[in-house]
Amino acid sequence: MKNLSIIGVLFALATLAGCKKTLTTEAIGLTTLEKANSTPTLNTVENSVNSSYLLLSNRLNLLAEWDWNGGLVFQNDYIMQDIASDDMEKKWNPDGDQPWMDDINNFTFTSSNGGPNGLWKYDYEGIKRLNIAIGLLTKTDIEAITGITTARKNQLLAEAYFLRSYYYFSLVTNFGDVPLITETVKSFQEAFKVAVRANKTVVWDRIKSDLVLAKAMLPNTKFSSATQKWRVSKGAVIALQAKSALYTEKWDDVITLVTELEGLHFYNLNANYFDSFSTAKEFTDDEVIFSYDHISDQNPRNGNGICAPLGWGFFAPSTDFLNAFEPNDPRKLYTVDVPNQNVNKMLGTLNGGNKGNDDAPTNKVYIRFADVLLWKAEAYNEKASYPEAIAIINRIRARARTTVTATGTIPPVGTLPDRPASTNKEVIKGWLISERRVELGFESQRLLDLKRWKIAKAVLTAQGKNFLDKHYLYPIPQNEIDASAGTLTPNPGY
């Protein structure tokens, strides 16, 4: 039964139920608890961290083989944050394929839906691997045992703290109170003891404290590795610190941290909006702060499998999303080519290249500078620093209107004019909400934004969705509750 399933936080153990269906795929080089408990090698230590990045991958069937109903065919962020929002529809031509996605779209899902199940399993599988990695890297004699240098140990440990924080960020923003597990679980008795939901404030505190540790151990360079530019950098850590402050409404901290990030002078808005997503510009642009490096023709495969369902007709824009763009905004076509039914931003191309390719080289962008700047604008607005907030919004608009379009033209004069001076907080926030939607469309930010602004119910019910108060959180997966014998408790309303 080993490695067949996980039951929430019963990380390193065999499942109590459903052991024939899920988590049947083990990553090559994965560090197991058994390996960690034996004499570790340098290779074991390296793999313990490297395998933890994989849970950010859009690779197909990373945790199971075609378990659609379990939500395990690929990462579910496009479903949980984009389809569930007012931006995206399941398919260009509606059909009965994968009805669990329709339930997410319509907010008729239950706690047995594959979407929350997949999100939970991806995040806690990542945390399981990271707890093993951190356990190894914090051994007092790890350098003597493995020969790892202090600098390399610190870099790997910083990466592990960041990644664990990232997975917990996903969990706390989607589920609220969640089990906080920071060490490997070695017995069923321990597993049931820790399978208890921690208050979200405690989870946020741990996210922030781990990021402080990570930042101190990373070099002051844009890339922490010159040869592996995908690895976590100091800029990525500071950005996640700022995002954590944003979601906990620590506005002064947001401003301070984004200012610190800007002070590194590593990042800027690309001259062309699409450079953040183009496969031809990966790791050479100015804007991407953290992304997953998909590479084709690897063994084991490491391509971007999400391009395959794009070829099957999945992921289309809603009419409301298309109507949100102002006239001649170049970002609209860079995001989605409606006549050809190509989601350019997800494909990383403007000609339909990679569509249907289950091993595409397109990177998955998680944090970029435009998003970060808009966090600062929001914090300024909340602090009544209205000119500063408007200036950032106009900086984002200026980049958009000066971008050469996907057809090679220059937007006409008058496109995306600057927002005027204002001291009306709600008006400025409305501008910010609109700007974030079109700037970050199809980047899995929209539903999380609507929820933290506490406007999800009003916005989504206006679009005919069945959004209720309980939907501000996703349900704890029912199979996890059942397998824990009720130690895990459900979210209200589920």
DSSP labels for 182-234?
Answer: -S---SHHHHHHH-SEEPHHHHHHHHHHHHHHHHHTS-SSSSS-SS-TTS--H
According to the model, what pLDDT value does residue 37 have?
63
* Regions of the chain short of the pLDDT cut 70: 1-37
According to the model, what pLDDT value does residue 486 have?
81
According to the model, what pLDDT value does residue 191 have?
77
Helices (H), 1-91: 33-37, 42-53, 77
According to the model, what pLDDT value does residue 485 have?
83
Exposure on the CB side of residue 118, measured as CA atoms within 13 A: 30
Q: Residues near 21 by Cβ (< 8 Å), separated by ≥ 6? A: 5, 64, 67, 70
Q: Residues near 398 by Cβ (< 8 Å), separated by ≥ 6? A: 416, 418
Residue 317 in contact with residue 338, Cβ under 8 Å?
yes
According to the model, what pLDDT value does residue 6 have?
40
CA distances from residue 23 to 11, 65, 121, 191, 363 in whole angstroms, order as listed: 12, 8, 9, 18, 24
- The string of pLDDT tens digits covering residues 295-349 is 999 999 999 999 999 999 999 999 999 999 999 999 999 999 999 999 999 999 9
Residue 22 in contact with residue 63, Cβ under 8 Å?
yes
According to the model, what pLDDT value does residue 351 have?
98
- pTM of the predicted structure, to 2 decimals: 0.94
Helices (H), 324-455: 330-335, 344-347, 369-382, 386-402, 425-439, 446-452
According to the model, what pLDDT value does residue 387 have?
98
Which pair of tokens denotes residue 353? 């290249």
Domains and CATH numbers, the chain: 1-217+455-494 (1.25.40.390), 266-453 (1.25.40.390)
In this structure, which amino acid lies at residue 378?
E
